Amino acid sequence: MTNWYNHINKKTEPILNRIKTHPFITELIDGSLSKAVFLFYIHQDAIYLSEYKKTLASVGVKCSKDDDTQFFLDAATGIIHVENALHQLFLKDEKLNIEASPTCELYTSYLSKMAHTHTIEEVLAAVLPCFTIYKQIGDYILSEQKNQDNNPYQDWINTYGGEDFAKSVEKAIAITNNYAELASADRLEKMNDAFTKASKLEYLFWHSAYNQESWKI
Ligand SMILES: Cc1ncc(CO)c(N)n1
């Protein structure tokens, strides 16, 4: 398949639309999101990112082209910078010794499973929504908001709306499309499933933060 990403992006548009209309995002746009909810999200995202960077490094190790390996290792390093910047801004005095929520645990475990027991095509498809959905949501928020000068969450919003992130997203799409071009119909189906599941997990991640999800016991 020549442009696999275009195909799966269209197919998963309903999930993206659900994220755009989720109260976490609509309230983030107008600045009314509760600080407790946002901090819960940032804490969970800190845990998520520290696991996600390991998955990206594993993906890099699995790539056959030097260039692709370098891209994922750089992306993993880039995450360390994002983590430090965001967490210094928003978690100044907060301690990071909290446990992962059920959804955070589910998402990071799913990605780790894909990286360690599935094919390179599937794990590429599984990590891609982390790039593309954040880019789409970052751009969406920037285009919708009218309060860039006084939104308390602007630093977070700017991280994912910028040019550097856009380049990185384009490269991740191109690498995944290259693998999809040579994949069998069966492998493509598995890639679709992985991209769809990771997109749903992105939705659940916002949703679980909005509800400050806890372990039931
Ligand atoms: C849950 C989640 N997915 C993707 C990103 C973007 O790297 C992030 N920061 N958090």
- Minimal CA–CA distance to 129: which of 174, 65, 172? 172
pLDDT computed for residue 184 by the predictor: 97
Range of the domain at 51: 4-210
- Rounded Cα distance between 170 and 189, Å, is 22
Q: Is residue 87 part of a domain?
A: yes
Q: Would you write out the chain's pLDDT as a tens digit for each of its 217 residues?
A: 789 999 999 999 999 999 999 999 999 999 999 999 999 999 999 999 999 999 999 999 999 999 999 999 999 998 888 777 777 777 766 665 689 999 999 999 999 999 999 999 999 999 999 999 999 999 999 999 999 899 999 988 888 877 888 999 999 999 999 999 999 999 999 999 999 999 999 999 999 999 999 999 9
Q: How far is CA 110 from the centre of its chain?
A: 13
Residue 25 lies in a domain: yes
Q: Is 215 domain-assigned? A: no
Q: What is the pLDDT of residue 82?
A: 78
130 lines ligand 1 (CB under 6 A): yes
Taken in order 191, 192, 193, 198, is the CA torsion positive or negative?
A: positive
pTM: 0.95
Residue 118 lies in a domain: yes
Three-state DSSP at 40 gives helix
Domain annotation covers residue 216: no
Tokens read off for 85: 């910047």
Residue 64 lies in a domain: yes
Local structure of 152: helix, strand or coil: coil
User: Which pLDDT score is estimated for 93?
Assistant: 61
Q: How many angstroms separate the alpha carbon of residue 108 from the centre of ligand 1?
A: 11
* CA atoms of 23 and 206, how far apart (whole Å): 9
C-alpha distances out from residue 82 to 46, 50, 183, Å: 10, 11, 33
Q: How far is the CA of 180 from the centre of ligand 1 (A)?
A: 23
205 lines ligand 1 (CB under 6 A): yes
Is residue 217 domain-resident?
Answer: no
The number of domains in the chain is 1
Q: What are the residue ranges of helices labelled H in the chain?
A: 4-11, 13-20, 23-30, 35-62, 66-90, 102-117, 120-144, 154-161, 163-181, 185-210
Helix (H, G, I), strand (E, B) or coil at 183: coil
Q: Is residue 140 domain-resident?
A: yes
- Atom 6 (ligand 1) nearest CA: 130
CATH code (residue 47)? 1.20.910.10
pLDDT value of position 71: 98
**C-alpha of residue 149 to centroid of ligand 1, in Å:** 24
pLDDT for residue 87:
74
